Amino acid sequence: MTGYMARLLAVLGEPPMRYRDAVAWSRLEHDLRVGFPAEYKEIVDGYAPVEINGHLHLMHPATRRWNLAEKVRSTSEVWSQVEWDEGEPEGDPRESLGVSELYFGDADGLIPIASTNRGETIFYASKGGQGAGTLFVENGEGEFFEYSMGFAEWLWRWLNGEEVTGPGGSACYPGPVALRNLPMTADGKPETRYGPAPGV
């Protein structure tokens, strides 16, 4: 367990592991031709489908609603229709990835792995960071920001109010982290639980 994973567990609380499913992950990784980082899968398996602190949404590959595979597919389709020739995005990921075309939902490009209800999308680039994998965050306004860190570190920094979704994008709230289980039926009532109090 990395240092950031241990810190996350301390503020998120014991993971319920409601939908842990290695087969669902294998299917998704086979379809995308990419392996997701172990810590990202551990966080998703532990808590998703969930909304964290009222903004960040994590989906899961093993659920019918809030399904990560469907979210990756639909989000990638939308981004793939953008005509980049009409104006390169700020923080163009192509230079960092060493590619001439920007692909989405593909091992050679950007794979959407999380999003916020403020319009931000977090992407995983398996070939970024000299092949070690890196994160790109689109801030909802067409600007991309690269963060050469794992998802556990990124989430820890986001929870602590650091600007890891671009300048002015911090979202820090005092008190325990709020984790709202996303409803699994149309008429389901989402349950909100809280991580341990700070310092506990």
DSSP H or E segment with residue 115:
strand 111-116
DSSP H or E segment with residue 135:
strand 134-138
pLDDT score at 127: 84
The pLDDT tens digits along the chain (200 residues) read: 569 999 999 999 999 999 999 999 999 999 999 999 999 999 999 999 999 999 999 999 999 999 999 999 999 999 999 877 655 777 889 888 888 888 999 888 999 999 999 999 999 999 886 667 899 999 998 899 999 999 999 999 999 999 999 988 787 788 899 999 999 888 888 889 999 976 54
pLDDT score at 134: 93
pLDDT score at 175: 87
List strands edge to edge, sheet with 56-58.
144-147, 134-138, 121-125, 111-116, 56-58, 50-52, 178-181, 192-194
pLDDT score at 4: 94
pLDDT score at 86: 54
pLDDT score at 199: 55
pLDDT score at 91: 82
